[in-house]
Amino acid sequence: MNIIFFGPQTSGKGTQTERLSEKLDIPVLRSGDILRNKKTTDDDEGREIASFIDVGKLIPDEMMNNIIKEELQKEAYKNGVIFDGYPRNLFQAKHLEEMINVDRAIFLDVPDALVLKRMAARRICSKCRAVYNLSSNPPKEEGKCNKCQGDLTQRSDDTEAAIAVRLNIYHNITEPLVNYYKEQGKLLHIDGTKSIEDVHEEILKHLTADA
């Protein structure tokens, strides 16, 4: 099964894809993490990626599409994949369809006001990139990842200036995917304001009904 997750910043894509992946045993392809890993390399590509991400802008489509095409060659994705963060516009969506069949597109819907609240409390493991939230999903030990004991940090693009750019891009460029997948009968519109567990259960309920 090939599943796409999309929705505004902090709508829970990382959180929900991680849980669903464990439940269904399907790997997650997370565009943001691939880019953040490349960004840590001190070369031209790393610096170029940083120049977009850190200010909240999207990576150019051609570059992004090539990265995904290469990533999808991996054996791990042969029996299915859960996409987090890709595609992010119609051009990318069409590119993806040339490579694989999309079974479901899950839209996590949250209002902008909640985005800002969640962003301020988000913490990420600097080693394994697991996602936490100081109020809704805190780590067991302060500042440490439950899974690998890595240090928790804030993302470089979780700033007020970058989030304004990111939300603007989301509404103008990514949101049209809602109608695109609705017209194809693939859209699953999920209320992302509920608790992490409730959202997870809601998604599972729909996917089980599909099977």
Q: Nearest to residue 114, comparing CAs of 62, 201, 191? A: 191
Per annotation, catalytic residue among 57, 144, 155, 182: 155
Per annotation, catalytic residue among 118, 122, 123, 129: 122
**Residue corresponding to tokens 């880019």:** 35
Is 118 noted as a catalytic residue in this protein?
no
**Residue corresponding to tokens 């060659």:** 73
Write the single-letter amino acid at 24. Answer: L
Q: How far is the CB of 149 from ligand AP5 (least distance, A)?
A: 18
User: How many Cα neighbours within 13 Å face the side chain of 147?
Assistant: 11
**In the chain, where does DSSP find H-type helix?**
13-24, 31-39, 44-53, 61-72, 90-99, 112-121, 160-169, 177-183, 196-210
Nearer to ligand AP5, 151 or 185 (CB): 151
Nearer to Mg ion, 101 or 135 (CB): 135
Q: Nearest to residue 30, comparing CAs of 44, 46, 18, 45? A: 18
Q: How far is the CB of 162 from ligand AP5 (least distance, A)?
A: 8
Strands 28-30, 2-6: pairing is unpaired
Per annotation, catalytic residue among 13, 30, 36, 104: 13
Nearer to Mg ion, 108 or 207 (CB): 108
**Cα pseudo-dihedral 88, 38, 137, 142, rounded to 10:** -160
- Show contacts with Mg ion in window 2-31 (CB under 5 A): 13-14
Q: How far is the CB of 1 from ligand AP5 (least distance, A)?
A: 20
Per annotation, catalytic residue among 36, 39, 88, 129: 88
Q: Which residue lies nearest ligand AP5, judged by its C-beta?
A: 32
Contact of residue 137 among ligand AP5, Mg ion, none (CB under 5-8 Å per partner type): ligand AP5
Q: How far is the CB of 63 from ligand AP5 (least distance, A)?
A: 8
Residues noted as catalytic? 13, 88, 122, 155, 166
- Report the interface residues with Mg ion, using CB under 5 A: 13-14
